[in-house]
A and B are shown apart, each in its own frame.
Chain A
């Protein structure tokens, strides 16, 4: 007797969305409401945004003949949390002009904007596009922002790890042009191509999917709590390969006993040239074996739990067509950020700043947002957001390091 399997509601929604388009464009153009329909809310997540409403004012609004105070949260895709000063300044301005004036640094090493009204979605995303940023796949049933240890000590190793994060992020990016058509006014091209989403297909993943890259001894990205992690194995200042862990995740649903936190399993080692392939195939195993009937059971950790770590590795190797090497030794020593100045092996300086709650904003006692924007105007290196929601002003040259040139300390030095 066959048992009828009922897919979760998001599955047919994805299938019928014409690759994440749905009716989003029309609904965003509808000026009568600041909201979008429930189905579109699910689709909008794939484009990096969530609809919210201000609960504090819910009560008064109906009487005032106003709908709820809707706005969107926008999450930027920023592999490894590394941004140029121009990108920082771009986001700084967008936060003021279209959002609530705060740049929120998230645990996935990216900026999050709050309070963007529907009418400003396109303007915000177009302004992001001007500084080469996007929010594709920052939320939704896809590979999310790939995060990476913000290690300020070893510049070459960090560069390699960042490079891998970027490659994975690009490789696993959805190929649908929906985002470009809806938000960047790209003309829709009728494609005869069968494979619009060669990796994802029409149904994308069963649930969100998170990848990180760690560089021991720092475990600031918390590899045990991610779907898939790459732990850099460093020999003689070079990354020789990565240990692979799968199936971590701390979330659980209160009152649902079949949900639980799970630490990731270490399943092997790969050389750097195969890391992107492994990332792809892990994701494909989850695509094909993840639970699509119950969204509370659909994260990779439940798939690994069901298949067991060995079973999962076997399936993965079948997809890969080769075997993983045995895992190498590594040691984690810390997972927090170390604040203050550090000089790396190449002589560049890095300043890690504590950002309370990840909120970069101006308050009367601490004009942090203005301060960092002022730094961004002169800074020639980069900014790195950490998975602990702090900020590294990275790659400051000797000449630019404030103490070294006799100039007064900039405002941000007080966070040392």
Chain B
């Protein structure tokens, strides 16, 4: 027998009938039914129209639009969580990707929740760009719409969460009412998101009260995921660069046996790195602290300082935020000046190529408690690598292509945390904590017959190794054309023997390369694209999908412009028409990028 609470929007008869029929169900059946109804997304289709007295809340006021703009899939995942929460609260949420959204769709619901990430230099996610521009420039009265924004970003970038900030301000300008202040989340977003969504639901209140039975939340099987990464054994760690190369690029294979992980070509591997011992030692020395002191961190709990600095905390990434916190501790006037709003450029200049340890050394604190230091450091961010293998071709394995980042700056040798962790501290037989992360925005075409053009210089080659392996395993008939580039042909031609094999077996139809330092003039992949503009156009006319992976700052921009130029020249279009053509390619998911 089920007892409905008094506030349930049900008449006595209804309570009785429901109680009877639901009471005959087993717990599993009950869970299924409740899930089915909650998940159907449109209660009107389940409930007959003449049951006029069913809902005490009108259907319009139950509506919530959850709008997301995603690059790596984080925003999408959070948006999906919001949708589930909304359903539990009795709302009828609509999940809307900015890639598919129009400005008009914002006015359809009374409530609007936005989750959006920021990329590179304050830019919206690739797939959201068109919508973002429409929103910023278009006009629409949003009076009567309540909204809140959850912005994702990375504090190590100057224009942290800029896209979220822009959208937040714009919605207000268009007349919408902000019910909860925007939250700006750093790489570790779970906690901030939880706090924000709690406030949102408190503010919105419950919709039609259909509290989801707790049975739904049970039967959660133990799985490896971001929260609980899988310790994967390193089964290969091979330097690919020749001994004469200036580069240091590794091919790393991990075993996923027992993880339950599965992935598609285009997906991403999250790697939990650790700071190297020499970096931690230097950091401790600069801080003057004893590494064995026990500290407590609100996310990680209690542990000795040295452990926290090694495995848990970001001790290198020098952001304004951490500098400001450090200023509070050290009290340096000079640092305060550097952090003043008017000297933003100066700080940018000073911090370029520097790390947190430089703060500690330049502006030492008179007294410093271990806990103070721990409190100003953010969690060591996970590093995402484009997966370089096809699960079909290598069952139970995942491969990565990793360029070790090492450089000299300000008379010091510096190194990238995750890349040198993988290069130096992840030998064959050791374990690396990882999780797989789906990237729906970087996918092979549905049909194996569709031609593909892949532009992946440097480590941007990784997902295309996965693509070609996948197509090889499927004996795909579609043509494929790879553009690769690096410094020197003989030293840096990543996976050269494999490409030759794929050319022979037909999985790869064509390859063009641009090695920038083999000749006096610098030759890059975009030059090779331009050289073959006529064929590129022909391939696009034949329905080819166009993929780009790698450097976002220069390469992806230059390739994008070259693509527009090719289309303008070959298709006899104006620049604007060519841009529209490219925008249409994006919209049709025929132009996809994985750039960083």
With a 10 A CB-CB cut-off, give which of B241, B243, B490 has the most chain A CB atoms: B490
A-B contacts at CB below 8 angstroms, number: 61
Bound CA span A119–B527, Å? 15
A5 at the interface (CB under 8 A from B): no
In the complex, are the beta carbons of A57 and B243 less than 8 A apart?
Answer: yes
- Given A31-B511, A32-B496, A33-B500, are A69 and B242 neighbors across the interface (CB < 8 Å)? yes
Determine the chain B residues whose CB is within 8 A of the CB of A31 once the complex forms. Answer: 511-513
B596 at the interface (CB under 8 A from A): no
- Given A31-B512, A31-B513, A98-B519, are A65 and B490 neighbors across the interface (CB < 8 Å)? no
Bound CA span A244–B521, Å? 50
Determine the chain A residues whose CB is within 8 A of the CB of B511 once the complex forms. Answer: 31-32
Determine the chain B residues whose CB is within 8 A of the CB of A23 once the complex forms. Answer: none
Determine the chain A residues whose CB is within 8 A of the CB of B241 once the complex forms. Answer: 64
B449 at the interface (CB under 8 A from A): no
With a 10 A CB-CB cut-off, give which of B489, B498, B511, B520 has the most chain A CB atoms: B489
In the complex, are the beta carbons of B518 and A66 less than 8 A apart?
Answer: no
In the complex, are the beta carbons of A34 and B490 less than 8 A apart?
Answer: yes
In the complex, are the beta carbons of A57 and B244 less than 8 A apart?
Answer: yes
Band of interface residues on B = 20 to 34
B495 at the interface (CB under 8 A from A): yes
- Given A57-B244, A120-B519, are A63 and B500 neighbors across the interface (CB < 8 Å)? no
Determine the chain A residues whose CB is within 8 A of the CB of B385 once the complex forms. Answer: none
A317 at the interface (CB under 8 A from B): no
CB-CB contacts below 8 Å: A26-79 with B: 31-34, 54, 57, 60-67, 69-71
In the complex, are the beta carbons of A66 and B519 less than 8 A apart?
Answer: no
Contact residue among B251, B490, B519 (Cβ-Cβ distance under 8 Å from A123): B519
In the complex, are the beta carbons of A32 and B490 less than 8 A apart?
Answer: no
CB-CB contacts below 8 Å: A272-331 with B: none
Determine the chain A residues whose CB is within 8 A of the CB of B513 once the complex forms. Answer: 31, 119
Determine the chain A residues whose CB is within 8 A of the CB of B520 once the complex forms. Answer: 97
In the complex, are the beta carbons of B519 and A63 less than 8 A apart?
Answer: no
Kindly report which residue of chain A lies nearest to residue B528, judged by CB atoms: A31
Bound CA span A32–B553, Å? 27
- Given A117-B518, A119-B489, are A60 and B243 neighbors across the interface (CB < 8 Å)? yes
Q: A185 CB to closest chain B CB, in angstroms?
A: 14
Bound CA span A117–B498, Å? 20
Bound CA span A71–B243, Å? 17
Determine the chain B residues whose CB is within 8 A of the CB of A33 once the complex forms. Answer: 496, 500
Bound CA span A32–B251, Å? 20
B503 at the interface (CB under 8 A from A): yes
Contact residue among B494, B496, B515 (Cβ-Cβ distance under 8 Å from A119): B515
Determine the chain B residues whose CB is within 8 A of the CB of A117 once the complex forms. Answer: 489-490, 518
In the complex, are the beta carbons of A32 and B489 less than 8 A apart?
Answer: no
With a 10 A CB-CB cut-off, give which of B242, B494, B511 has the most chain A CB atoms: B242
Determine the chain B residues whose CB is within 8 A of the CB of A54 once the complex forms. Answer: 490
Bound CA span A62–B242, Å? 10
Determine the chain B residues whose CB is within 8 A of the CB of A62 once the complex forms. Answer: 497
Kindly report which residue of chain B lies nearest to residue A66, judged by CB atoms: B496
In the complex, are the beta carbons of B497 and A69 less than 8 A apart?
Answer: no
Bound CA span A31–B518, Å? 14
Bound CA span A293–B513, Å? 42
Bound CA span A66–B240, Å? 8
Given contacts A57-B242, A67-B500, 19 further A-B contacts (CB under 8 A): A31-B513, A33-B496, A57-B243, A61-B242, A64-B241, A65-B240, A65-B251, A65-B494, A65-B497, A66-B496, A66-B497, A70-B490, A71-B490, A97-B520, A98-B519, A117-B490, A119-B513, A119-B518, A119-B519
Can you identify 27 A-B contacts, CB atoms within 8 angstroms? A31-B511, A31-B513, A32-B499, A32-B500, A33-B496, A33-B500, A54-B490, A57-B242, A57-B243, A60-B243, A61-B242, A62-B497, A64-B238, A64-B239, A64-B242, A65-B238, A65-B497, A65-B498, A66-B496, A67-B496, A67-B500, A69-B242, A70-B490, A71-B490, A97-B520, A119-B518, A120-B518
